[in-house]
């Protein structure tokens, strides 16, 4: 259900039925998506995984329709969320899968409770309800086989949703933490630095038991090479078949590590953006809320410089003096040559202050002249 075929080429990926994406564009969207409480969703999903099977006791039989109804609502709510996320939003995803699956096996169930006169009440084309008072041990061997089949399909269905939720948890915890490490410096990492950070990160996770707490793929994947027409050009593409989203995100992440296509959290607005192998920046290019004509990148770099100035008294004094002298030049109280001479001298003074040839007080007094 969540599996797909993907063709990788350079820094792009073509997903069958969903079109083209940049490397790690999908991971960025998942990092950025405002999920409901994923741990809570996971617990609910596991609870359905344990309980959704053909009733084995009279108690289970009595509560079965209620369980199915809650399941239909729960999984349809997940479908709505998944419809907002790439690549699924561009695919024609099947909805209402639990309802459909239950209807494939509706010969087990009554649409209304306590009705067994089928001549007067022909079965509807679709059941809305799934009542039964027969438990598993009441079924004849043929029906037993059918019930086992139903159980297996229910298990597979719920498992796919459970793994999807786990994949989302892994993105929000493990992937986010790993990317923080990758972006600790102020530059793209080279191959050796990448290996070191990856090694250290993975060794910290050794003791963890759950796969969604680790930087690992989920599901299965297979790979073949196929000719593919990309932008009018016939090229040999790597074609992967992923059974889960988690398998795809894993491969895509490492491709991005190699070709510098990586999600990063913006140092100003805190949202994720995709670095695309161009100049490294800790800031995104969204326009800021205060000033629509400025992006985080415009304001962020200015802020970084301002922070630096404010934490460096020598630089602060130098910057003030520079602005004063520049204003004098603009008001024509200084000629261009005088200003240039002063600017060179000011730089020299600043360096002497850094080298402690001048005390801070001497420097501050001299540069104001």
User: In the beta sheet, which residues pair with residue 295?
Assistant: 287
Contacts with Zn ion, 295-324, as mask; x by CB under 5 A: -x----------------------------
Query: Which range, of 7-15, 130-138, 229-237, 278-286, touches Zn ion by CB under 5 A?
Result: 278-286
> By the 8 A CB rule, do 220 and 243 touch?
yes
84's tokens:
């907002």
Query: Which range, of 54-62, 80-88, 219-227, 290-298, touches Zn ion by CB under 5 A?
Result: 290-298
Distances (CA, A) of 109 to 72, 97, 103, 112: 16, 17, 9, 9
Distance in Å, CB of 283 to Zn ion, minimum: 6
Contacts with Zn ion, 235-274, as mask; x by CB under 5 A: -------------------------------x-xx-----
- Of the pair 32, 128, the CB lying nearest Zn ion is at 32
| 338: Cβ contacts below 8 Å, ≥ 6 apart | 329
- Of the pair 237, 266, the CB lying nearest Zn ion is at 266
Q: Does the protein bind Zn ion through residue 284 (CB under 5 A)?
A: yes
Total residues contacting Zn ion by CB under 5 A comes to 5
User: In the beta sheet, which residues pair with residue 21?
Assistant: 13
- Of the pair 12, 303, the CB lying nearest Zn ion is at 303
Distance in Å, CB of 270 to Zn ion, minimum: 7
Distance in Å, CB of 249 to Zn ion, minimum: 23
* 103 closest CA partner among 85, 76, 128: 128
- Of the pair 163, 284, the CB lying nearest Zn ion is at 284
Distance in Å, CB of 289 to Zn ion, minimum: 10
Query: Which range, of 7-15, 62-70, 194-202, 284-292, touches Zn ion by CB under 5 A?
Result: 284-292
366's tokens:
């001299």
Segments in 17-133 forming alpha helices (H): 25-32, 38-51, 58-82, 97-104
Cα 312 to Cα 317: distance, rounded to the nearest angstrom: 9
352's tokens:
């002497």
Distance in Å, CB of 297 to Zn ion, minimum: 8
Distance in Å, CB of 282 to Zn ion, minimum: 9
- Of the pair 36, 270, the CB lying nearest Zn ion is at 270
Cα 248 to Cα 254: distance, rounded to the nearest angstrom: 10
Distance in Å, CB of 288 to Zn ion, minimum: 7
Cα 263 to Cα 255: distance, rounded to the nearest angstrom: 12
Helical pair 191-204 and 245-259, crossing angle rounded to 10 deg: 140
Residues in contact with Zn ion by the rule CB under 5 A: 266, 268-269, 284, 296
């Amino acid at each position: 259900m969540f599996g797909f075929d993907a063709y990788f080429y350079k820094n792009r990926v073509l997903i069958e039925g969903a079109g083209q994406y940049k490397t790690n564009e999908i991971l960025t969207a998942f990092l950025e998506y405002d999920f409901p409480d994923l741990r809570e969703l996971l617990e609910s999903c596991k609870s359905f995984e344990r309980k959704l099977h053909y009733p084995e006791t009279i108690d289970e039989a009595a509560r079965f329709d209620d369980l199915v109804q809650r399941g239909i609502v729960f999984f349809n709510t997940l479908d709505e969320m998944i419809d907002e996320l790439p690549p699924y939003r561009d695919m024609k995803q099947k909805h209402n899968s639990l309802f459909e699956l239950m209807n494939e096996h509706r010969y087990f169930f009554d649409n209304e409770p306590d009705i067994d006169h089928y001549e007067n009440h022909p079965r509807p084309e679709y059941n809305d309800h799934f009542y039964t008072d027969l438990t598993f041990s009441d079924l004849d061997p043929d029906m037993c086989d059918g019930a086992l089949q139903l159980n297996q399909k229910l298990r597979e269905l719920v498992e796919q949703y459970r793994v999807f939720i786990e994949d989302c948890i892994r993105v929000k915890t493990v992937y986010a933490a790993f990317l923080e490490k990758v972006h600790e410096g102020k530059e793209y990492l080279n191959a050796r630095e990448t290996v070191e950070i990856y090694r250290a990160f993975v060794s910290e996770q050794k003791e963890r038991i759950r796969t969604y707490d680790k930087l690992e793929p989920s599901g299965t994947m297979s790979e073949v090479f196929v000719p593919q027409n990309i932008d009018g050009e016939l090229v040999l593409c790597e074609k992967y078949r992923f059974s889960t989203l988690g398998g795809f995100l894993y491969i895509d992440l490492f491709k991005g590590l190699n070709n510098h296509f990586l999600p990063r959290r913006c140092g100003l607005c805190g949202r994720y953006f995709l670095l695309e192998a161009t100049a490294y920046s800790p800031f995104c290019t969204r326009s800021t809320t205060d000033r629509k004509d400025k992006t985080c990148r415009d304001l962020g770099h200015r802020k970084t410089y301002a922070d630096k100035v404010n934490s460096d008294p020598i630089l602060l004094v130098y910057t003030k003096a520079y602005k004063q002298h520049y204003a004098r030049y603009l008001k024509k109280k200084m000629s261009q040559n005088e200003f240039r001479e002063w600017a060179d001298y000011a730089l020299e003074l600043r360096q002497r202050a850094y080298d402690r040839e001048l005390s801070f007080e001497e420097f501050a007094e001299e540069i104001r002249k």
